[in-house]
């Protein structure tokens, strides 16, 4: 033991490791869980561990993971965005309509990103300046956007000539890695850097932790919050573009309202990754791992014959478990107190 200690550099000292382990215990737990699933899966399904399936799994994960990173920013500041599924729909519709009408991809992408940015801006402004609860605001904007999609398309799918260049984004590879996975990797790395190394990332954390204190120490809390909603919508936009590029057509979901699909997957990934809905807690890596775990389960379940309804059921329970775990430790909840009242 003594020799081991002397070999290990200072960075791996026992103290450092315990601190590190405490700080990242969520991430480590999920990573271990993933390893266990990998190990067990080879007995359950011969297909699961094949390179092809793993690449496919990564590609499936990429869409959720990208949206989840966006959601992570919003959850970090103590908000929520239930409108990302509808944002993906709007984005998909706009991009396909533009391409079918012959708008070049180079023009279409900036326009679509601008659409996403506007959605985020509207969400953020209403939440901060209108002082409304984020989940109400985003539930309503979701409903409105879905209405817009249904009115525009009449509920029918749109297809037509989509440039090959665009389809390459969704279906292509760089080396042997699918393009969406590369995009995911880049975005995750960028988010990781922003959160670790920039003042903006720090301000997201402290705003989520205690917005009054952040305000009192010189952070423009409203701007930070609006930025988080914008980022969330932009990440959803990218995710939407990637999935449209895979299919090459647009299919509106026939139901409106409710919170289903995309946003729930993203929220689940973030919460499973260790974030707290109260804000100020969670990491990019945790979110990525959460999305990965999620992707693995939804890849594995059909392979071992679990029906989609049971999957949905399990998904609900996973969210519940994750929230249960994250709500522990703050058993006394947060009391809202009006401060600074003078007369």
Partner 1 sequence: MKKIEISKQLPVAMLVVLIIIGAQLSDSFFRVSNFANIIQYAVESAFIGIGMTFVLIVGGIDLSIGSVLAFASVVSAKMALENVSLPLILLAVIAIGLTCGVVNGLLITKFRIEPFMATLAMMMIMRAATFLFTGGGPLTGTVYDGFKQIIKGKLFGVQNGIWYVAAAFLVAALILNRTRFGRHVYAVGGGEETAKLFGVNAEGVKIAVYMISALLAALSGLLIAARIGIGEPRSGQSYEMTAITICVIGGISMAGGKGGIVGTFVGTMVVCMINNLMNLMNINTDAQPIVTGVMILVTSLIVSREVTSKRRLLVKEI
Partner 2 sequence: MDNVFELQGVSKVFSGNTVLDDVSLSFRRGELHALVGENGAGKSTLIKIISGVYRADKGTLLLNGNPVKFAAPSDAQMAGISTLFQEIQEIPEMTVAENIFLRREPRYPGTFVVDRKKLRRGAKELVGRLGLKIDTAAKMRELPVSTRKMVEIARAVSQKASVVIMDEPTANLNAEEMQALFHMIDDLKNHGVTIIYISHRMNEVFSLADRVSVLRDGKLIATLDGEECSEERLIPLMIGRELNALYPARRSSVGEAVLEVKNLSLGRHFKNISFTLRKGEVLGFAGLEASGANAVTKTLFGLCGRPSGEITCGGQRLEIKNPAESIRNGIAFLPEDRKTQGLFLNQNLVSNITAGALDSLFSKRSILKSRFERSQSQETIERLTVKTRGLHERPAELSGGNQQKVMLGRWTIGSHKVLILEEPTRGVDVGAKSEIYRQINSFAEQGLAIILFTTEMPELLGMCDRVLVFSGGALTAALSKEEATQELILQYALERHVS
Judged by beta carbon, residue 20 or residue 216, the one nearer partner 1 is 216
SS3 310: helix
Binding residues for partner 1 restricted to 241-260, rule: CB under 8 A: 255-260
218 binds partner 2 (CB under 8 A): yes
- The total of other beta-carbon atoms located within 10 Å of residue 126's CB is 19
CA distances from 282 to 44, 64, 237, 336 (A): 32, 17, 22, 22
- The strand ranges marked E within 47-178 are 173-174, 177-178
Q: Does 21 bind partner 2 (CB under 8 A)?
A: no
Euclidean distance between the first and final Cα of the chain, in Å? Answer: 65
- C-alpha 111/C-alpha 212 separation (Å) is 36
Mind giving me the DSSP string for 16-60?
HHHHHHHHTHHHHHHHHHHHHHHHHHHHH-TTTTSHHHHHHHHHH
* Closer by beta carbon to partner 1, 10 or else 131: 131
CB neighbourhood size of 251 (10 A) = 17
What DSSP designation does 280 have?
S
Q: Which stretch binds partner 1 (CB under 8 A): 9-17, 33-41, 64-72, 316-324?
A: 316-324
Count the alpha carbons within 13 Å of 217 in the hemisphere toward its beta carbon. Answer: 9
Of 5, 8, 13, 19, the one binding partner 2 by CB under 8 A: 19
Q: Which of partner 1, partner 2, none does residue 21 bind (CB under 5 to 8 Å by kind)?
A: none
Among 221, 228, 275, 296, indicate the residue that binds partner 1 (CB under 8 A).
Answer: 221
Binding mask 231-270 for partner 2 (x = CB under 8 A): ----------------------------------------
Told to check if 152 binds partner 2 by CB under 8 A, we report no
Q: Which position among 220, 255, 307, 327 is part of the footprint of partner 2 (CB under 8 A)?
A: 220
Stretch that binds partner 1, among 21-29, 51-59, 147-155, 297-305 (CB under 8 A): 147-155
Spacing of C-alpha 250 from chain mean position: 22
Phi-psi region of 70 (alpha: psi -120 to 50; beta: other; left: phi over 0): alpha
Coil, strand or helix at 294: helix
User: For binding to partner 2 (CB under 8 A), which residues are involved?
Assistant: 19, 23, 197-200, 202-203, 205-206, 209-210, 212-220, 280-281, 337, 339-340, 342-343
User: For binding to partner 1 (CB under 8 A), which residues are involved?
Assistant: 80, 126, 130-133, 135-137, 139-141, 143-144, 146-148, 150-151, 154-155, 211-212, 215, 221-222, 255-260, 264, 277, 307, 309-310, 312-313, 315-317, 319-320, 323-324, 327, 330-331, 333, 335, 338-343
């Amino acid at each position: 033991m003594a020799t081991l200690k002397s070999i290990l550099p200072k960075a791996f000292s026992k103290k450092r490791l315990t601190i590190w382990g405490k700080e990242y215990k969520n991430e480590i737990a999920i990573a271990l869980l993933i390893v266990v699933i990998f190990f067990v899966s080879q007995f359950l399904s011969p297909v699961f561990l094949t390179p092809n399936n793993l690449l496919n799994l990564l590609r499936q994960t990429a869409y959720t993971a990208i949206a989840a990173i966006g959601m992570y920013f919003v959850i970090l500041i103590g908000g929520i965005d239930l409108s990302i599924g509808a944002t993906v729909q709007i984005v998909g519709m706009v991009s396909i309509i533009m391409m079918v009408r012959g708008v070049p991809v180079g023009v279409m992408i900036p326009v679509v990103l601008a659409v996403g940015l506007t959605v985020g801006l509207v969400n953020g402004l209403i939440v901060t300046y209108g002082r409304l609860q984020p989940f109400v605001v985003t539930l309503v904007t979701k409903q409105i956007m879905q209405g817009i999609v249904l009115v525009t398309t009449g509920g029918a799918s749109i297809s037509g000539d989509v440039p090959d260049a665009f389809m390459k984004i969704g279906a292509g590879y760089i080396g042997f890695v699918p393009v969406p996975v590369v995009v995911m990797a880049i975005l995750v790395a960028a988010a990781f850097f922003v959160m670790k190394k920039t003042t903006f990332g720090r301000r997201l954390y402290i705003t989520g932790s205690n917005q009054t204190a952040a305000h009192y120490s010189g952070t423009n809390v409203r701007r930070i919050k609006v930025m988080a909603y914008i980022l969330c919508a932009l990440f959803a936009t990218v995710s939407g573009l990637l999935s449209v590029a895979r299919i090459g057509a647009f299919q509106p979901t026939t139901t409106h309202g409710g919170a289903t699909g995309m946003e729930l997957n993203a929220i689940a990934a973030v919460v499973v990754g260790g974030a707290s809905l109260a804000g100020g807690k969670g990491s990019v890596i945790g979110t990525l791992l959460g999305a990965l775990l999620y992707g693995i389960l939804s890849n594995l379940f059909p392979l071992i014959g679990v029906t989609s309804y049971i999957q949905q059921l399990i998904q609900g329970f996973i969210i519940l478990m994750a929230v249960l775990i994250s709500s522990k430790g703050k058993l006394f909840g947060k009391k809202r107190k009006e401060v600074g009242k003078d007369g």
